[in-house]
A and B are shown apart, each in its own frame.
Chain A
Amino acid sequence: MNGIDYGQLLRLAAPELILALGALAVLAIDLGIMRGEPLFQRRLIAASVTCLACAAPLMWIANIPQAGNLMHGMLVVDPLTRLAQQAILVLAGLTALLTVDSEFTDHVGEYFALILLATVGMMFLVSAEDILMIFVALELTSLSLYILAAFNKQSLPSAEAGLKYFLFGGMAAAFMLFGLSLVYGLTGATNLREIAAALKGTGLDPLLSVALVMTLIGFGFKVAVAPFHLWAPDAYQGAPTPSAAFIASGSKVASFVVLARVMITGFAGAEGSGSWMNYQPGWIPVLAALSVASVCLGNLAAIAQSEVKRLLAYSAIGHAGYALLGVMAGNGQGVSSLIYYVVTYALTTLGAFGVVAVVERATGGSKLTDFAGLSRRAPALSFCLMIFMLSLAGIPPLAGFFGKFYLFTAALGAIKDLGLIWLVILAIAMSAVSLFYYLQVLKQVYVISPPPNCAPIRTPIASAIALGLLAIAVIALGCAPDLILGPITEAVQASRW
């Protein structure tokens, strides 16, 4: 590790640096200047600083295009990582905006600082091509998210959510570390490309199989695919809603990007085959099994839910199952479709959680019945919720529809003779099932009468802005997918995946 070019490091890691400084600034401002002020103002100031800390790196990335590979893949900056980072920054900023109206804590500065620190972790995560760095970044993200999940100190479910998330997460990290250490033992390398080179032609020996499965268990936990999903429903339900939203959106994007990178770049050559009646061992069949399990379990279990956050958690498991199709496709189109899918999914789910947060504050709960007659109490909010739910269900012309369509097309086209069609058929069938439970929510909102003498619900201004932006984004990205699909495709081509 001799001869680090600190100048270049500074330039390439500038966005992360700004974020980390922003985290410190939030803490300093909140604890130093704003200490005695009313909570709302503290939140407002902290959120503004957070948004600024997210906007500055966005500007930096947009205006100073850079590429580079530092310290042997520890920090790889290419168009694709920049794109993923931009998505994460946008999601973090919007999460901060949605948090302005949340009244669950008086430790305002810490909360926003943790959001920013988690974001730093995610940024490093998507730009790492080295298993050590990936693990460290993953831990930085996870530790911040554990605390965010448990942040509501007055609430027992929040503590439970944090603990559960932490225990499962710790276990998964152990599995992943074990798997990665085996990989290192097999290849003597920590860089993904070197690993791939070392594995080339060796075939799939038993130790590699063990390493693969262990690593996938770790990632399976991060992206919440069945059967490693058990933490998700409780964490989503118990955690403060903005935390749940961030876990479901930002962390999903980062985890999927890194999962795709590790599998496609690191384990190139060990794909195997998941085609019907033409099975060969490798990571594709493992992912296929995970995908089948999550698509079925997520969508079927969501039907039985009466709590909207829990319902969103199970639907998230189902969506993770779809997204795995993009990883399995393994080619450029697959990666583009995966990124389009997870980014639009993250925007949509963030919006859905945002609406839930507003309703939760007004009605005191997030059960399905708390949404009864919402369209009479808050027409605009209901309209946003309809957009988000229908997008999740995959109804055109919303982003979720195109995401699924592109994903399925990529998965079918990547493997010859429509090899994955059995999985695509299953996924499409299950997405038909999913319409049922999304309509259950919308039925409460639009069909059922509101409880007698209830007041209209006012959406606070910050949430209104965030939700409006998200709804517009979901519609616009659905009607004109080329808005981000063009850049994604170019980035994928330029980034030699």
Chain B
Amino acid sequence: MLAWTVYLSFAGVFLLILLPSSMRGAARAIALLTALAGLVVAILGIVHFKPEAGMVTVAKRPWIVSLGADYFLAADGISLTLVLLTGISAVAGVLFSWNIERRVKEFFAFYLALIGGVYGVFLSFDLFLLFVFYELAIIPKYFLIAIWGSTNKEYGAMKLALYSFIGSAMVLVGLVAAYVTAGAHTFNLLELAKFPFPESFQMWAFPLVFVGFAVLAGLWPFHTWAPTGHVAAPTAASMLLAGVVMKLGAYGALRVAITLFPLGLRAWQHSFALLALIGIIYGALVALVQKDFKFVVGYSSVSHMGFVLLGLVTINEIGMTGAVLQMFSHGVIAGLLFGVVGRMIYDRTHTRDLPTLNGMNLSQKLPFAALTFIVAAIASMGLPGFSGFVAELSVLLGAWRAFPTYAVLAGIGVVVGVAYTLRALQLAFFAQAPVGKESGHEPCPPISIPEKLGAALLIAATLLVGLYPRVLLDLIGPSFNAPLFDGLRKGAGL
């Protein structure tokens, strides 16, 4: 049934293409219904999922016989978590882009195509199929940013497209080489995971594929697309970029690089942990000095995604579970932050410059935006009660077992995280305007219903996971005991 997340999204794209471009309301409605349907399917999938079964096959039939590629969709706890995240982000994204007036139907067509591709990646257990969906997601991103974006949009869009494509080119080399080396005439993940690739092969294939995917997850020093891309993108697209597209990268790294090449992971563990750590601290420090509100959020994404990557290379269950949870948590929180900055504030004030916002007295004008941002900030800082706390704590615990020094240093990143979040919060909403710089009292349109609904959905998600993390932990944890990770257990001692 989960396959319907993919089919529905593409059906939505198809409907939108056929729709006359004058029918804007209908376009919005189709997009919202499609996104909602996807979310419902995702939730139903989770409800029906039995964690002890390890994984569930959704669809499996031969596809390209001469290559041995199957149309093989399946889900385990990890995929389900991310499918749920995609569903939530998709709905919130549509709600936050309700005010788009220019080329509405095209916007939502590209948007749903991106969503469909993302669902597809999370559900593919055939590596060829996974790669197809992974590349399929590149093009809609480009157009979403280049057409509907702001600041430096064409540059940001092209940079993102090329980074993604170069990353996927690296993955492609590793994938084809692994296919040929295994010689089993199959791309089935379960089959390939059983194959013991020679150590000399893993030594170069692992970093190639890992970095190829991690480019999209914002691995330092390949993260530079992230801030520019996020800033240039329209609100819904930045929500999706930070919310799910960066997760595509992390998910791919886990699903392909880590699963197939455990020996390589073992050998490269410390190098990549170091890069992740640099990302955490560097992202946080840079966020601390940004003037553009959206850049603060953009760099904070780099920092938070550092936790995901750090968790992935800990090679212990708590760290890796934490990493997956952090993917979910960051997806929701970043969506919320971008929603506030891009939609609630920028669309009304037409500026994201913190010193300018400083004089606008926004906490009075837009109390709902201020409230939402406070909640998002608290969640982002990792305070207990929100999803970020459980996730980052698990990652740090895992890291502590694997490399204590890095864990301590990552703790510094958390502290800086508090600093830049509070700074942005204070500058944007609560600063006393300097005398004489008061920028008049031009009224802002009030926060609309769709925005409130979107924000409420995201807040509810982070609160739910924060207060009752077992909803997701019970899904994610057992996945690492599945036969799929046998190789990882043997080869790298998970």
Contacts and interface: CB of A to CB of B under 8 A. Distances in A.
B136 A397 contact: yes
Which of A336, A402, A429, A432 has the largest count of B CB atoms less than 10 A from its CB?
Answer: A432
Contacts of A341: none
Interface size of A as a range: 35 or more
A449 B154 CA distance: 13
A429 B136 contact: no
B261 interface: no
B65 A432 contact: no
Contacts of B173: 421, 424-425, 428
Interface string A95-118: 000000000000000000000000
B169 A431 contact: yes
Which of A395, A424, A436, A439 has the largest count of B CB atoms less than 10 A from its CB?
Answer: A439
A401 B66 contact: no
Q: Interface on chain A toward B: helix, strand, loop, or mixed SS?
A: helix
Interface in A460-497: 480-482, 485-486, 489
A486 B162 CA distance: 34
A406 B146 contact: no
Contacts of B158: 436, 439
A441 B66 CA distance: 34
A396 B135 contact: yes
Contact of B165 (A408, A432, A443, A480): A432
Contact of B181 (A397, A406, A418): A418
B176 A482 contact: no
Contact of A412 (B131, B133, B169, B177): B177
Interface in B442-457: none
B10 to A, nearest CB: 10
Given A409-B176, A412-B177, A429-B169, A481 B162 contact: no
A443 B154 contact: yes
A150 interface: no
A442 B143 CA distance: 9
A494 B142 CA distance: 45
A328 interface: no
Interface string B314-336: 00000000000000000000000
B1 interface: no
B64 A396 contact: no
B494 interface: no
B177 A418 contact: yes
A435 B165 contact: yes
B190 interface: no
Given A413-B180, A436-B158, A436-B162, A406 B67 contact: yes
A390 interface: yes
Interface in B274-321: none
Given A428-B169, A443-B154, A447-B146, A396 B180 contact: no
A424 B176 contact: yes
A405 interface: yes
B132 interface: yes
Nearest to B183: A413
Contacts of A256: none
A345 interface: no
A450 to B, nearest CB: 12
Given A446-B147, A447-B146, A396 B66 contact: no
Given A447-B143, A447-B147, 9 more contacts: A336-B66, A396-B131, A396-B132, A397-B132, A418-B180, A428-B173, A443-B154, A446-B147, A485-B66
Sorted nearest first, the 6 A-B pairs with minimum C-beta distance are: A396-B132, A432-B169, A413-B180, A412-B180, A447-B146, A428-B169
Interface of B: 17, 63-67, 106, 128, 131-133, 135-136, 138-139, 142-143, 146-147, 154, 158, 161-162, 165-166, 169, 172-173, 176-177, 179-181
